Amino acid sequence: AQSVTQLGSHVSVSEGALVLLRCNYSSSVPPYLFWYVQYPNQGLQLLLKYTSAATLVKGINGFEAEFKKSETSFHLTKPSAHMSDAAEYFCAVSPGIGTDKLIFGTGTRLQVFP
């Protein structure tokens, strides 16, 4: 069975500071990994995805994530936080080929202070 664990349900950073949201996965097969973002009163949208190509994946709005098999991690980072980054972020895993079904983590709410 596949699963993801997001460490820290809430993360607070100052504007301009580094954003680091943690995600660890468990999978018996090479996983596809995703980060989705949910802004207030909006649907979830894809930030970025890892599908076994490059281990460093760049997404929208300056976010990136690095797949580290040895650590079973897929942490999300952004060098400099903006106020507009305040949202809930979900890590997700998929068994990959042939399915779009995703298993989501519990989410991390990012607050950005001026």
Partner 1 sequence: DTGVSQDPRHKITKRGQNVTFRCDPISEHNRLYWYRQTLGQGPEFLTYFQNEAQLEKSRLLSDRFSAERPKGSFSTLEIQRTEQGDSAMYLCASSRGQGSGELFFGEGSRLTVL
Site residues (vs partner 1, CB under 8 A): 6, 9, 32, 34, 41-46, 49, 51, 90, 92, 94, 96-107
Order the strands of the 19-26 sheet from edge to edge: 3-7, 19-26, 73-78, 64-68, 56-58
Smallest separation (angstroms) from partner 1 to the CB of 17: 25
In angstroms, the CA 36 to CA 34 distance is 6
Whichever of 17 and 86 has its CB closer to partner 1, that residue is: 86
Residues 76 and 7 sit within 8 Å (Cβ to Cβ): no
Smallest separation (angstroms) from partner 1 to the CB of 21: 13
Smallest separation (angstroms) from partner 1 to the CB of 34: 6
